[in-house]
Amino acid sequence: MPSASRPTPPVLSDGVITLRPPRPDDADDITAACQDPQTQLWTTIPVPYRRADAEEWLAARATPEQWWQAPVWAVTVAPSDRWSGNIAVRPDGAGGAEIGYMVAPWARGHGVATRTIRLACTWAFGALDLSVVTWYAYAGNEVSRRAARRVGFRIPDVVLRRHLPHRGERRDAWVGDLLPGDIATAQRRAEAHYLGPALTHRELDVLGQLTRGESNKAIAAVLGISENTVKNHVRSILEKLQAKSRAEAVVIGLGQGLTSLPT
């Protein structure tokens, strides 16, 4: 029965994704997603990850009181209600909060991360009366950085050395900040900044990897897709940007602000 002092956790939706409180029956999907090498590389989940870890995590968020201490949602993608990721808002008690999220392998490549971050941050600014939301990622997680920047996070091209712990060691990190008006500003810029045939979210991810000089094999490993899929994305990028080579596509992408040089 919901607590009298804490309301039922909110459900958020933009019509494509829905953020709902996690449920005990999410355990199998959480366990499956946490076997993914990319998830293990960029998060601090236990490795190896077992179903008992998922059950323990869910039990710690089972009541409204627990949820409101550190709001966290399960991500679902219409028309399914299947768990396809998490996003957490961690208030610092002084008008700020940090976000942390993951997207399951089966939901990647469709803008889910950007939509998820935007929904959760919009709610947090209003419901928690925040002044700033902070985003962290291990340096090299270009997919996460691109998603956060689309929402409006300001992420300087500066690497904070040995800034974040990761299973007994420290790793370089990126940090970004988001103020209450930044989400609307980013959306207005996106609507006004048409640069010809639009690249899909996944094509932008591939273009970012091309900018880093990565091979198809390396791109496939980073993005969790097949080499053949990478080849198809590269072909589409070349056609849309009217580029004759990967190098020319990178030059055009840099000129149009579709990608940035690695730090």
More confident residue, 92 or 199: 92
Q: Hey, which residues does 171 pair with through a beta bridge?
A: 164
Mean per-residue pLDDT, 197-225? 90
Question: What is the token pair recorded at 17?
Answer: 């994704």
Answer yes or no: are the C-beta atoms of 164 and 136 closer than 8 Å.
yes
Arithmetic mean of pLDDT, 112-135: 96
Indicate where the chain has its CATH 3.40.630.30 domain(s).
Answer: 12-192
Q: What is the CATH T-level fold of the domain 12-192, as seen in this structure?
A: Aminopeptidase (3.40.630)
Secondary structure E strands in 104-186:
132-138, 160-166, 169-178
User: What pLDDT shows up at residue 45?
Assistant: 97
Answer yes or no: is pLDDT of 2 > 50: no
For residue 4, pLDDT over 60 is answered with no
* pLDDT band per the 50, 70, 90 thresholds, residue 5: low
Binning pLDDT at 50, 70 and 90, where does residue 62 land? very high
Each residue of 156-176: pLDDT tens digit? 999 999 999 999 999 999 999
Stretch(es) of the chain classified as CATH 1.10.10.10:
201-255
pTM above the 0.85 mark?
A: no
Q: Mapping DSSP to helix (H, G, I), strand (E, B) and coil, where does residue 73 land?
A: strand
Whether 195 has a pLDDT exceeding 60, the answer reads no
What is the rounded average pLDDT for all residues in the chain? 92
Q: Is the pLDDT of residue 217 over 50?
A: yes
Domain 201-255 coded CATH 3.40.720.10: no
